[in-house]
Amino acid sequence: MTMHFPFDNSYAALPETFFARVAPTPVSAPRLVKLNQALAVQLGLDPDWLASPEGLEVLAGVRVPEGAASIAMAYAGHQFGNFVPQLGDGRAILLGEVVDRGGIRRDIQLKGSGRTPFSRMGDGRAALGPVLREYIISEAMAALGIPTTRSLAAVLTGDRVVREEPLPGAVLTRIASSHIRVGTFQFFAARGDSASVRALADHVIARHYPAAAQAEFPYLALLEGVIARQAELIASWMMIGFIHGVMNTDNCSIAGETIDYGPCAFMDVFDPKTVYSSIDQFGRYAYGNQPPIGLWNLTRLAECLVPLLAEDADKGVEIAQNALGGYAERFNAAYLAKLAAKLGLFTSQPDDPQLSQDFLAAMAKGRADFTLTFRRLSDAAADPDDLSEVRRLFEDPAAFDEWAPRWRARIAAEPQDGVTRQAAMRAINPVYIPRNHQVEAVIRAGVDQGDFGPFEQLLTVLANPFRELEEFARYAEPPQPHEEVRQTFCGT
Ligand code: AMP
Ligand code: MG
């Protein structure tokens, strides 16, 4: 048999306590819904073979390819603040790792591929709706330039999964630079197994933070590296109105990628308190809470690493606290720089943070659409005397009217011309995001009618989020009141 996957598995070489060896459970009638051809090529895989009957069997978990690791990873995690000592891949199987064309090691994982020793009460399966959702949003995030897991394929299984009602089952092939989470460290730390915490830290340094190996204190450098990437990641989420929805420590990637798209959503009208997830009753993971929750999660990681930071426990805690102290500064610097860029500022002035905050406050007061307001401001940068297209997005424009002359004066003080500023702003302020009402409509067409045309169309639009096209006009529009989606579901 030819080697269709050039597997090079490193995680499966770690101690046996790190995972369970388990094969996917076969399904009855696999059918390809979507294959990400460009991503396949980037991974060094043959898209034609993946789309062949044999390839489809692999993507559906019917056949385990040669050289696969086929493991379910062990992890723990804090779910909504409560520690669960054992979670693990209950419905996912890591087929193995390949080194992509850019030299980066990538996990190939099947999600929805059947029960594992970590399934607890679950069936190990995924319904089509959440699979389409993860496919759309992860690929949109990638196109927006946000670090994220990717989607290689979505297949129908031909079997029904029972949720509140019977639904078509599906498997998503997920690609990640790894599936190691804060919760993976917690799994071993909670068992007092410091040898495994160390082995995991060494693996993560080699794989994701190679520069830390050269540092004077490699484990501290690792912690600082994870802190820096999470600060940067969450600042990027804030720039596009993304709400992860379940920032549990088991959904927090050590590599700094957005992972586990469940009830995540993009905000329409700007309001920091926005929550969509049906299970987030108290708004723990609201849009505006994401930065402090990031620190909370990193603090849980730091606790696991304390024994590696110093021989003396008190000293270890002190070192960890110092590192965590850097998060706020990192986050704020990234957040303010990105926000200034969204406003089209090329230089930095002491009053810029205030100018940014007042713009957001005006949007909140005026119930303006977050994405479209920044986009129309970008358009207006070529001729800032006419802000009418921005202004009409505000239900109540009073605060915007006060703000607008300040912005005009601020950009006028810079040497860049309007066209240059417009281009720079358009390159970072998207016109198309996966709006909830559109994502829901596409899922309904796929699940209820087996019509994947709208899904394909939405993927096409979201693949170029910064280039506005006449024919895609409706995708830029916020929902009409009757279209608004107020709640999203985990859909496990
Ligand atoms: P999530 O909320 O998707 O991050 O998952 C939390 C935990 O529940 C993880 O350990 C999952 O593997 C597990 N899980 C979620 N859905 C299922 C399912 N259908 N079958 C088995 N385990 C599941
Ligand atoms: Mg998860």
The residue-averaged pLDDT of 390-399 equals 98
The residue-averaged pLDDT of 375-388 equals 98
Classify residue 269: in a domain, yes or no.
Answer: no
Q: Whose CA is nearest to atom 13 of ligand 1?
A: 90
pLDDT in tens, 400-455: 999 999 999 999 999 999 999 999 999 999 999 999 999 999 999 999 999 999 99
Is pLDDT of 75 > 50? yes
pLDDT in tens, 410-419: 999 999 999 9
Statement to judge: residues 137 and 252 lie in one domain: no
Statement to judge: residues 329 and 348 lie in one domain: no
Is pLDDT of 153 > 90? yes
Domain that residue 221 falls in: 183-264+282-335
- Spell out which residues have Cβ within 5 A of ligand 2, the ion: 251, 260
Please identify, among 298, 316, 335, the residue that sits at the C-terminal boundary of a domain.
335
Q: Catalytic pick from 89, 107, 250, 268?
A: 250
Statement to judge: residues 147 and 166 lie in one domain: yes
Ligand 1 centroid to 157 CA: how many Å?
18
Statement to judge: residues 127 and 227 lie in one domain: no
How many domains does the chain contain in total?
A: 3
Statement to judge: residues 170 and 188 lie in one domain: no
Statement to judge: residues 102 and 167 lie in one domain: yes
The yes-or-no answer on residue 451 being catalytic is: no
Is pLDDT of 489 > 90? no
Statement to judge: residues 221 and 158 lie in one domain: no
Which of ligand 1's atoms lies nearest the C-alpha of 262?
3
Which of ligand 1's atoms lies nearest the C-alpha of 248?
4
Tokens encoding 232: 């940067």
Classify residue 2: in a domain, yes or no.
Answer: no
Which of ligand 1's atoms lies nearest the C-alpha of 89?
12
Classify residue 1: in a domain, yes or no.
Answer: no
Q: What is the pLDDT of residue 1?
A: 39
The residue-averaged pLDDT of 210-231 equals 98
Ligand 1 neighbour 125 (Cβ under 6 A): yes
pLDDT in tens, 196-206: 999 999 999 99
Q: Whose CA is nearest to atom 11 of ligand 1?
A: 90
Q: What is the pLDDT of residue 491?
A: 61
Which of ligand 1's atoms lies nearest the C-alpha of 87?
10
Q: In the predicted model, what is the mean pLDDT of the chain?
A: 97
Ligand 1 neighbour 199 (Cβ under 6 A): no
Q: To test the ligand 1 pocket, which listed residue (91, 164, 247) has its Cβ within 8 A of the most ligand atoms?
A: 91
Ligand 1 neighbour 89 (Cβ under 6 A): yes
The residue-averaged pLDDT of 165-177 equals 97
Question: CA-to-CA distance for 469 and 14, rounded, in angstroms?
Answer: 49
Ligand 2 centroid to 118 CA: how many Å?
12
Ligand 1 centroid to 464 CA: how many Å?
32
